[in-house]
Amino acid sequence: MLPEDPRWRQLLADPEAAATLLADAAARAEFVAAAAALQAEHDDLVMLHDSTLEHANEIEEQLAVKIEQVEALVVELELRNAFIRQVFGRHVTDEVVNTLLASPEGRQLGGERRTLTILISDLRGFSTLCEGLGPEQVVAILNIYLGAMADVIGEYRGSINEFIGDAILAVFGAPVPQEDHPERAVACAIAMQRAMGRVNAELAEHGLPALEMGIGVHTGEVVVGNIGSNRRAKYGVVGRHVNLTSRIESYTVGGQVLISGSAAEALGDRLRTRGSFEVRPKGVREPITIHDVTGVDGPFAIHMAEETSQWRALAEPQRLSFTALEGKDTGGQENPAVLVAYDDLHNAELHVTTVVPLRSDLKLVLAALPGVDAYAKVVASTAGRVVVRFTALPRALTELLEGLPLRA
C-alpha cells in the first residue's frame, strides 16, 4: 500500500527524490500500481459515503413523515381530550378519575360493600314544564341546571353517579373514603337548594321557566364498584338503600331537603330541622322517619335561604276537583274543593269537604280550566282546610290566578 512504504512518503515530500526514484522502471511500475489501488479504494470510499448518506436521508425522510404523523395525532388527541373534558369533566370528579386510573384494579369489574351517603335530587313538575317547550329549550334548561348542581356537588367532594333525565344520583364516601360523608351530603343538598336562585336567574335571562327541586339524602350500606360489561362499565352504586333514597326524595316539595333517620343520626346535634315525620314507603316493611332539614352547623355550616311570601286571598274563590294519587297513576275518586288563596312559593289554600292526609299527592283541575292538570302535595291539613304546594303548575293556571281580583 502506498502510504505504508517509506519510499513513497519521501517521494511525496521531495520532488527531487521523486525524480531519482521514478527513474527506476521497476519502482515506477510499482508506484503506478499502488496509485491505481489507492484510486480504486478512494472510489469505493466515495461510493460508500454517498450510499450511506442516501440511506441516512431515506431514514430521515421517514422520520420526518412519522414526526408529522405524531404531531397530527397529538393535535387530534388534545382535541378529543378537550371534548371529553368538556362533556364529562363536570360530571365526573377528578378524584373518581384519578382513583380509577391509579389502581389497575380500578378498571376491573367487581364491587365491595360500603356504607355511603346517597343524594338524589329531582325537579318538581319537569315533565309538565317540558310539554310546552322545544327540545333545544329542554336541553338548555337541563345544561344550566345540571351544570350548576354538578359544580356544587364537586365542591363538597361528592361524586355524581348518574344523571337520570332531570334527576341526579350522587354518592359521598366513594370511591375516595370520607369519614364525614353524611355531613358533606346534607350540607351539599342545602347548597344545591341555595344555588337554585342563581339557576333560575340564569334561566330567566334566557327566557326559560323557573325550576323547583327536591332532594332526598340517606346513609346506608350499598355495593360500589365497576358495574356492567367489559364493553360498557361504570363506577356505580346499587342496593336497596339507593331505592330508599329515591323514595325519600319523592316526599319532597320544591325547595325541600328530606333526610333519613340514619343520615340525621350521623349529624347529631349539628342538624337543624323543621321537624320530622314517619312514612311508609312502598316496598319497605318498617315505617321510616324523615327529617325536614333547614340547616347544618359545625365545619360544613350552611342554612336554607329564608322563604317569605305573602298570601293572596282571591275575591272569587275558584272551584276545582282533585284526585288523590297512588304512586304516579291517577285512579282515585274525584273530590270537590275551592281554592281560596295562593302565594309566590306555589302554595295554595283549599277548602275541602273530606279529610286529606298530609303529604298526599293530588291532581287538581280547576273548573275554569278544564283539561289543564296541576299537581300538588299536601303540606298542611286540618278539618275542612288544606295547604298544598304545587309540584307541577301549568302556565295557564299561573296566568289565570294572577289575572284574578284579590280580596281587599
Partner 1 sequence: MTDTTSRPSGSDTDIKGPGYRVWFDAPSRTIHFEGVLRLSTSEYKPIEDMLDRVLLESPALGLRMTELAFLNSSGINMLYKFAIAARKKGDTEIKVHGSSTIPWQGKSLPNLKKFLPPIVIALD
Please identify, using beta-carbon distances, which residue of 20 and 51 lies nearer to partner 1: 51
Do residues 214 and 126 make contact, with C-beta atoms less than 8 angstroms apart? Answer: no
Q: Which stretch binds partner 1 (CB under 8 A): 51-59, 299-307, 350-358, 380-388?
A: 51-59
| Binder among 14, 58, 68, 155 for partner 1 (CB under 8 A) | 58
Select 54 or 344, whichever has its Cβ closest to partner 1.
Answer: 54
55 binds partner 1, rule: CB under 8 A: yes
Which residue lies nearer to partner 1 by CB, 14 or 50? Answer: 50
- The C-alpha cell at 381 is 291539613
* 298 SS3 class: coil
Give the interface segment with partner 1, choosing from 57-65, 120-128, 217-225, 255-263 (CB under 8 A): 57-65
Cβ pair 296, 183 in contact under 8 A = yes
- Residues numbered 6-45 forming contacts with partner 1, rule: CB under 8 A: 44
Q: How far apart are CA 293 and CA 289, in angstroms?
A: 13
Decide whether 44 or 278 has the Cβ nearer to partner 1: 44
Element (H, E) at 37: helix 25-88
* 47 binds partner 1, rule: CB under 8 A: yes
Q: By CB under 8 A, name the one of 5, 14, 24, 54 that touches partner 1.
A: 54
C-alpha cell at 137: 329549550
In the numeric block, the cell 275575591 is attached to: 315
Minimum distance of partner 1 from residue 52's CB (angstroms): 5
User: Minimum distance between the CB of residue 42 and partner 1, rounded to whole angstroms?
Assistant: 12
State phi, psi for 405 to the nearest 5 degrees: -70, 145
Q: For partner 1, which is the closer residue by CB, 17 or 67?
A: 67
102: Cα within 13 Å, side-chain hemisphere: 8
User: Residue 175: is the preceding peptide bond cis (ω within 30°)?
Assistant: yes
Dist. CA 148–CA 142, nearest whole Å: 10
Residue from 56, 67, 301, 305 binding partner 1 (CB under 8 A): 56
Ramachandran angles phi, psi of 387, nearest 5°: -110, 130
Q: What angle do CA 57, 62, 63 make, to 5 degrees?
A: 90
Site string for partner 1, 60-99 (x = CB under 8 A): --x-------------------------------------
The footprint of partner 1 (CB under 8 A) covers 44, 47-48, 51-52, 54-56, 58-59, 62
